[in-house]
């Protein structure tokens, strides 16, 4: 993708994706990683070139796939909702889903597949519990628009939005261990409320989770 061109999923320039750094820090060097919804491969590029990772990607947008492969990254055109089933168990050390969970048809199944084919899963998503989202809905009575959720309701790929608290509940329900988690602001920086779930749910614009099976 050319500089300054918007990222198709978030609508913001790639250079703002500081959260990718936080994700990369969670990944052991030289491990096997699958990045689902990898876009043009910005995270894979960091993982492959800075952490010596054997990295693969899945992306549904063909233009982004072509851009990633043209950079020499191993990316396939595929749909996370249907194509994860073809990977064998525990094929990867980490399966990453960054800012894509909310855009999948069946987020719960996608998460289950991630923890089947990977020993660990790293998931980040926009937090629908953020105070600005809550306030916008209460005061305007309209679907909230925030920097992390900046598309109008009729033109958003996000169909399964959740809050950080909701995500904790899902992990508990489906038996995933939350090894680490972070509240992240829209710049992808750690927020100071990361130790407290309730405060993170109110103040973090994104949640970032490292999970494993129980």
Residues forming contacts to other proteins in the complex (CB under 8 A) are 54, 56, 62, 65-66, 69-78, 83, 86-88, 91
Rounded to 5 degrees, what are φ and ψ at 111? -65, -40
- Closest approach of Cβ 83 to other proteins, in Å? 7
- Closest approach of Cβ 75 to other proteins, in Å? 6
- Closest approach of Cβ 64 to other proteins, in Å? 11
- Closest approach of Cβ 88 to other proteins, in Å? 6
Q: How many other C-beta atoms can be found within 10 angstroms of the C-beta atom of residue 185?
A: 19
Q: Is the CB of 40 or the CB of 205 nearer to other proteins? A: 40
Q: Is the CB of 44 or the CB of 121 nearer to other proteins? A: 44
How far is C-alpha 180 from the geometric centre of its chain's CA atoms?
15
Rounded distance between C-alpha atoms, residue 186 and residue 196, angstroms: 18
Q: Is the CB of 75 or the CB of 123 nearer to other proteins? A: 75
Q: Is the CB of 104 or the CB of 163 nearer to other proteins? A: 104
Q: Is the CB of 62 or the CB of 138 nearer to other proteins? A: 62
- Closest approach of Cβ 58 to other proteins, in Å? 9
Q: Is the CB of 75 or the CB of 164 nearer to other proteins? A: 75
Query: Cβ contacts of residue 25 below 8 Å, gap of 6+?
Result: none
Rounded distance between C-alpha atoms, residue 27 and residue 47, angstroms: 8
Question: Locate tokens 């894509």: which residue?
Answer: 100
- Closest approach of Cβ 205 to other proteins, in Å? 33
CA distances from 202 to 172, 189, 190 (A): 20, 16, 14
User: Which pairing describes strands 54-59 and 206-213: parallel, antiparallel, or unpaired?
Assistant: unpaired
Instruction: Check: CB of residue 42 under 8 Å from CB of residue 18.
Output: no
């Amino acid at each position: 993708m050319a500089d300054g061109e918007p990222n198709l999923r978030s609508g913001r320039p790639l250079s703002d994706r500081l959260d990718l750094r936080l994700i990369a820090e969670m990944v052991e060097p030289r491990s096997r990683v699958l990045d689902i919804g990898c876009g043009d491969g910005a995270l894979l590029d960091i993982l492959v070139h800075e952490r010596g990772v054997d990295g693969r990607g899945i992306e549904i947008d063909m233009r982004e796939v072509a851009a990633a492969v043209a950079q020499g990254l191993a990316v396939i055109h595929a749909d996370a909702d249907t194509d994860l089933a073809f990977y064998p168990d525990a094929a990867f050390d980490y399966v990453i889903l960054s800012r894509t969970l909310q855009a999948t048809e069946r987020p719960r199944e996608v998460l289950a597949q991630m923890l089947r084919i990977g020993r660990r899963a790293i998931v980040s998503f926009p937090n629908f519990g953020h105070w600005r989202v809550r306030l916008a809905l209460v005061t305007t009575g309209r679907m909230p628009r925030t920097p992390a959720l900046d598309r109008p309701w009729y033109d958003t790929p996000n169909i399964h939005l959740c809050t950080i608290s909701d995500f904790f509940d899902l992990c508990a329900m489906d038996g995933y261990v939350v090894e680490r988690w972070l509240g992240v602001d829209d710049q992808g920086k750690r927020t100071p409320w990361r130790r407290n779930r309730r405060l993170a749910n109110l103040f973090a614009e994104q949640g970032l989770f490292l999970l494993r099976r129980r």
